[in-house]
Each structure stands twice: as C-alpha cells, then as structure tokens.
Amino acid sequence: MNPYYLAVDIGASSGRHILAHLENGKMVLEEVHRFPNGMVEKDGENVWDVDELFAQIKLGMKKCGELGKIPVSVGVDTWGVDFVLLDDKGERIGNAVAYRDGRTRGMDEEVYKVIPEDALYARTGIQKAIFNTIYQLMALKVRRPEQLAEAETLLMMPDYFHYLLSGVAATEYTEATTGQLICPETKDWDMELIEKLGYPKKIFRKIVTPGTMLGELTREVQEEVGFTCKVVVPATHDTGSAVIAVPTDSDNALYISSGTWSLLGTERMQANCSPESKANNLTNEGGYEYRFRYLKNIMGLWMIQSVKKEIGGDLSFGEICEMASGCSITSIVDCNDDRFLAPANMTEEVRAACRETGQQVPEGLAEIASVIYNSLAKCYARTIKGLEGITGCKYDCIHIVGGGANADYLNRLTAEATGIPVYAGPTEATAIGNVAAQMITAGELTDLKAARKCVFDSFDIIKYE
C-alpha cells in the first residue's frame, strides 16, 4: 500500500482532515473528518476556540488510526495573520483573538506614528489590512501591554497547532509574511522594524520553509491518537497551499483561490513594493520555494456564506448559485468595502449599499446572491486590469481553485467579465497543496512542477470561455 499523508485544513468556518496517497501516479483523496469552526465571544473579544480545534485535530487523527490508514506525516494549514502568545512555560497567554475582532480599530495610526504607511509598504510589500499581525500587536501594546511583557514566544495559528503536535516552536514562512513584519529581501523577520514598533524581539521564532520536518508527535499526542508520525509543515497559509495546487505550467497564468476570501493574483520571483503596487492594494505574500504570491485580497464568498446563514435556510451553496443565475438584477456593490467585513447583517448591508448608490435594491435570497456574484466578477475584472498594467503581462488563463470553483454561475460571470478563459478546479486545492508539500519532502513527488502535473492529471478541471 502506498503511504498516506494527512492534511489538516482549517478555514474560518470549518476544518477537515484529508488523507492522500498516490495510485498509478494520481493523487487520491479521502476525507476522514470534518468539524465546524467559527468565532466565539469570550471576555468581550471575538476569538477562536483553539482548544476545541486542537481536540478536533486529534480526533481526526485518531480516526485515521481506526481506519488502519496511518499517515507518514501530518501538516496543518489555516488562515493568515492571527497568532497566539506563549509564556516561558509554553502556556498560552490570553485568548486567540480573531482577525475580525475590533481591537485593531485605530491601530494603523499608532503604527504610522513610527513608520509612515508608504514606507511600511515599501519595506514589507504587504497590503494594508487593519487586521494584519502588525496592527494586532499594536493593539496589545496599547491595550494589553502586560501580555506582551509576559510573552516569550509568538506563534502564528498553524504554527501553534504544530507546536502542540510536535513540541517544536517554529514559524512557517508563507504564514508569517501575511502579518506585515517580514522583509521580502531577507525572507526573515524585519527585526529593525519590530524594534522600532516596540514589540519584544525575543518572541519571534526561527522562520522555516514549507516541507520542513519538525519531528515526531509528542508522547502525549501519540498516546491519544494511537500512533506516531512526522510533523511536516506545509505552506501553512491556506492560500500558500492552494497556490501549490494550481494545475498550470504557464508563466502567464492567474489564480483565484476562492473561498471565504477570494485571493486573485500570480506568482513572481521578486516582490513589487512600488508606490504603484501599493496604490492598487496589491500584496507580496510568501509562496513555495520563496516565490511571491502577488495578489489582491477580495472579500470573496464570505458575503454569500453570511447571507446563507441569515436567510438561506437549508439551501446548499449550489442551489443558491443556481437561483442567482436566473435573476436579471444589475446592481453592483464594492466587495472590498470595509462595511462588508463584519456587518451585523450582511443581507441588509448589501441592500443598503445598493440603496445608497441609487441602484435597484435586491429582494430575496436569489437577487441578493446575484448582486454578490456579479459584484465579485466585476471586481475580479478590475483587479486583473490593474495587475496587467503593473506587471506588463497579458494573462492567458485564470485558474479558480478552492471551494468557490464549484460556483458555476460565478465562474461563467468571471470568464465573461474578464474575457479570459477560466479553468475551475480542484476544489480541495488547499488540502492538495498541503499534502503535495509533504509528498515532495518524502520524495514521492520530485518538485513543484511534478506536483502541479500530478494535480492536473488527478482531478477534473472544467473550462469556461
């Protein structure tokens, strides 16, 4: 039997354990465990229940053992920017505060007292987002200085889970870059910037790259799950893993990692930290083998997820997408407006945005969804024009990967709005990229090019023109 590799892929709304192995050169996936995730309120903060998430990680691993499919390695990926602090005993300090919490409000101005916004972008290449790690740390410095004073270690969210699994505290490169504290030239923490901001330098651990083997499971975890295996860090930022799974060998390809967020961009070998790049709100996040994911964050299916929760009842996303495709409403909203980041009611926020701009106000689920899908497609088209202007490239295809690749209506709208062929799939791109990095480390796949060819050969890819 070919060896198994386990991806633990945790998103903002759910997590899943995906076992993978190679069969006749093709990657075969099996979902072993799925569990819910979401922000909860605790101590007046919006936080992640990391204790429950780790319990679910171990439960899913135990299920692998019960199936008799013990992985040779495991790796965890999550969203970006969020972190935990550990004290000198390795215990967590305070809550694992979520990026949608309001604690960073006004913290950008505090940061800009130390380093102007333009200079910060020129130094890091990371786009302004009020929830970036740099602003979250400023919120702690201003409001909870005692936590920073007590801290010995900062670990990004997936790094924390790898620490709990292996006992090794290390920070993975692709995840770290999302926080706006990494130098794109040295690919390491910008300690001069960190010192200027007044953050304790000692808490920032060694940077490791995707494919690094941290060690075996701790004895406690082994006893709980019933086996041991290696802990191998993938590209721990979910988009970093998803981009590994983009099934292309073209140098002029775009990708959209479509999920809670839509991450639209291309791969480059050098960061672009120019004023023009900043003006277009583009970011240079770290990728596999020190590539840069030159991309823009777009609000994405978070808007649809919220509307489904509010008024969608038991309808599936596919059913909502189909309903939306039958609507003729032409109203458009700005998906990147901060008003859609965490509104009290997404449905009413979309309606209010249409009303305020003198457009037809959508009524009912189908029209609300249609406005969101059309708005996303238009936003994709605008972003691509901006990318082409800055890079001087004419892109010949768009690969949509992740759960949003199933949104047939959105895929058709995207091909129509951009005039570029769209290839949709695979949907489990993040988990696939996660295990691909593990397989490369194990020598089952030779390199990134081989991994991408394997993905293309293994999964259905649908073309839209």
Q: Which amino acid is at 2?
A: N
- Alpha-carbon distance of 99 to 136, in angstroms, equals 8
- Alpha-carbon distance of 458 to 56, in angstroms, equals 28
Which has the closest alpha carbon to 402: 288, 268, 258? 258
What number of other Cβ atoms are within 10 A of residue 398's Cβ? 24
Q: Which residues of 316-355 are buried (b: 16+ CB within 10 A; e: fewer)?
A: ebeebbebbbebebebbbebbeeebebbeebbebbbebbe
The half-sphere exposure of 274 on its side-chain side, counting CA atoms within 13 A, is 9
Which residue blocks in 17-132 are alpha helix, DSSP H?
50-66, 107-112, 117-124
Which tokens go with 172?
Answer: 């993975």
Catalytic residue among 77, 108, 238, 251: 238
Between helices 157-166 and 50-66, what is the axis angle to 10°?
A: 50
Between helices 429-442 and 448-458, what is the axis angle to 10°?
A: 130
Partnered with residue 154 across adjacent β-strands are 85, 204
Look up 238 and say whether it is catalytic: yes
Q: Which amino acid is at 269?
A: M
DSSP string, 141-171: HHH-HHHHHH-SEEEEHHHHHHHHHHS---E
The answer to whether residues 415 and 392 touch, using CB atoms and an 8 Å cutoff, is: no
- Alpha-carbon distance of 9 to 79, in angstroms, equals 9
The answer to whether residues 231 and 238 touch, using CB atoms and an 8 Å cutoff, is: no
Which has the closest alpha carbon to 383: 278, 262, 246, 264? 264
The answer to whether residues 50 and 160 touch, using CB atoms and an 8 Å cutoff, is: yes
- Alpha-carbon distance of 350 to 308, in angstroms, equals 13
Active site residues per annotation: 238
